[in-house]
Structure 1
């Protein structure tokens, strides 16, 4: 732990940055199994928010592992560190006044709560993309489930590593045959209705 470090308070703060963007900064955290549709929905949601002049940034699990978390594997310890880093980055982006969208399996409740606890009340929106394991395996866009079933991939969430479903998410996207576009629209409307996007008009 570093010592002799003091937080420097700058004159331009989160409120001023958000006011300049005419929006309410927050983290919209999509969690769910691999293949649940998180990244697709997140991408469509960001597109819709951009159409409504919201300033956003999308953090995606695979993309982040190409850089910021490129040194991490998929053990439970590395998964925890992966989400810790993402949470700290998300906090900085919220401080910049942005609407941050994340798409991560993030299998452990305590790690999602870590991000929630970094932010002010109302700034963290947990979205459970509740696509059943059978449907995710059926989709298997990257062929990962097949490899995990064959024993080629260890510590794969849902097969040989646990996934803890959110206990009290702000939003649940239930799988019942709707398209990713419909899910993104539903999420956008729910967020707007609940006041998380209260500057969207």
Structure 2
């Protein structure tokens, strides 16, 4: 049965990087999988609004898309901020084999990475509606996988930690 791997965290937390590694790993093992990235989905759907209310609407569309794709026998890996309790709850109730993966990266590290310049633009007063800064977020209460950033971890070690957690989840389901 197909699964939905919902990889969430703040901007620059490593969602896209880990999701691409996970998809590559699945494809190498012969699994049919699709990668959905929040930034790419926004572009495809031409969605430019960023208030919390607007974010909830668009992320609910992502959730329904994940449910549709996974219902057709294809694994879905989605990398999206989507830090809303109502979204997490809906996903758990409505998407079979939903696996929530939360990447917890501290703000100082997010600002250091800042590949899109969001944190720098926010600090300069050029933009607003940045999740985790002026927009309140709901970190998952009980994610299936919790990855905590540390300056002692590499992307490879974080990915291995993710795989180890996913393997443990599979073993527990087999019992």
Q: TM-score, normalised by structure 1?
A: 0.81
- Is the 8 Å Cα contact of residues 8 and 81 (structure 2) preserved in structure 1? yes
- Is the 8 Å Cα contact of residues 83 and 140 (structure 2) preserved in structure 1? no
In the TM superposition, residue 72 of structure 1 has moved relative to its aligned partner by 4.3
Q: Which has the larger Rg?
A: 1
* Whole-angstrom CA distance in 2 between matches of 1:71 and 1:57: 21
- Is the 8 Å Cα contact of residues 42 and 184 (structure 1) preserved in structure 2? no
Q: Structure 1 stretches (4+) deviating beyond 6 angstroms?
A: none
Which residue of 2 is the match for residue 163 of structure 1?
A: 137
Which residue of 1 is the match for residue 66 of structure 2?
A: 90
Per-residue Cα deviation, 1:81-126 (whole angstroms, up to 9, x for no partner): 1111001110011111111111111121211222222123xx1111
Pick one of 17, 39, 45 that aligns with 1:40.
17
* Whole-angstrom CA distance in 1 between matches of 2:156 and 2:49: 32
Residue aligned with 2:92, SS: helix
Structure number with higher helix proportion:
2
Per-residue Cα deviation, 1:61-93 (whole angstroms, up to 9, x for no partner): 11001113x134101111001111001110011
The number of residue pairs the alignment matches comes to 173
Q: Structure 2: 5+ residue runs without aligned partners?
A: none
Q: Structure 1: 5+ residue runs without aligned partners?
A: 1-23
Which residue of 2 is the match for residue 117 of structure 1?
A: 93
Answer yes or no: is 1:30 the counterpart of 2:7: yes
- Is the 8 Å Cα contact of residues 44 and 181 (structure 1) preserved in structure 2? no
Residue aligned with 1:92, SS: helix
Please give the root-mean-square deviation of Cα atoms over the aligned residues, in Å.
1.8
Which residue of 2 is the match for residue 182 of structure 1?
A: 157
Q: TM-score, normalised by structure 2?
A: 0.92
